[in-house]
Structure 1
């Protein structure tokens, strides 16, 4: 059995770190703003996920990348497994864009992180791995609590987290459907 690759969390951490610390002069152009995206600044759907409002925000997200890597060695084993982060990232941004268009600005990787956790946890749970079931249930409970009591979390973050989770669950079931079709 091949070992789990440490390359994806290193690359993602370095990317998040570099975007925050080295792209400061362009920070304003890389954050997602509803009017700008509607005016054609489509790249903000992607770049906003790699930007952060402050250092603690950045470091919590980097810690989350490593926690996902540690918790889900079977689901996030190779660099290829981490590619699910791209459609999750876009889904997170699109849901927050249309779910909270009145918010001034969005930045952060937490929507993608929620999606990576949901993806790996749901796949683990479907493979009858108890840790996946526990993490997936906790994620659903956290999202429902934030949705029901928005004062406990920033409303735009709730939409980002919901978007990431929706993207992840959709991917898991699309993969299962594709696998089912290929085995017929």
Structure 2
């Protein structure tokens, strides 16, 4: 029988992340918080971080909440509450800075997808560290997906759903951030 990680310490962080993004959408905060290159250049540097938590539309938000749930099912028991918040904050900043520095073609960016790719990579490495063979498959699978995206380009179908171009560069940047966070796990393999 499958044991879901329903303990408060496992379920509260993903619920809070989902509620944060939902609240920001309901309050229509995109004009104030989205990653907007011109406004960042004009001094609104908080957008590098906050752009991760706002979304293009409700479908975009729903897709990211499904991602949060998927990661919770796979890796909730791998991190403490404080690690969850630290990882998400690091990956939000990492992804925003990566887009700012290395992807000048992205003028506006919203969503958790870069951050979520980083969390998945870290979780796969944690799986490997604790001896779960599925971690190897997940690690290979996520990098195969990223390679495919870089080769084939963004999904037009998903772009139509979210009414925005899928920022595959953010996925890659976030995944690299997750790999960096996971380097200590590789070194400290049980």
- For Structure 1 versus Structure 2, the TM-score category normalised by the shorter chain is 0.7 to 0.9
**Is the aligned partner of 1:167 residue 2:172?**
no
TM-score, normalised relative to structure 2: 0.83
- The range that moved more, 162-171 or 122-131, is 122-131
User: Cα offset for 1:45?
Assistant: 1.1
Aligned position for 2:83: 81
TM-score, normalised relative to structure 1: 0.85
1:99·1:159 contact (CA, 8 Å) conserved in 2? Answer: no
Aligned position for 1:158: 168
Aligned position for 1:130: 133
Distance of aligned partners of 1:156 and 1:96 in 2 relative to their CA distance in 1, 3 Å threshold = farther
Q: Partner of 2:55: helix, strand, or coil?
A: coil
Matches within 5 A, 1:31-110: 31-76=34-79, 78-82=80-84, 83-110=86-113
Q: Could you tell me how far apart the structure 2 residues matched to 1:79 and 1:15 are?
A: 16
Q: Could you tell me how far apart the structure 2 residues matched to 1:168 and 1:128 are?
A: 19
Corresponding residue pairs, total: 175
Q: Could you tell me how far apart the structure 1 residues matched to 2:106 and 2:178 are?
A: 24
- The range that moved more, 144-153 or 66-75, is 144-153
Q: Partner of 2:108: helix, strand, or coil?
A: coil
- Aligned-residue Cα RMSD (Å) equals 2.2
**Is the aligned partner of 1:18 residue 2:23?**
yes
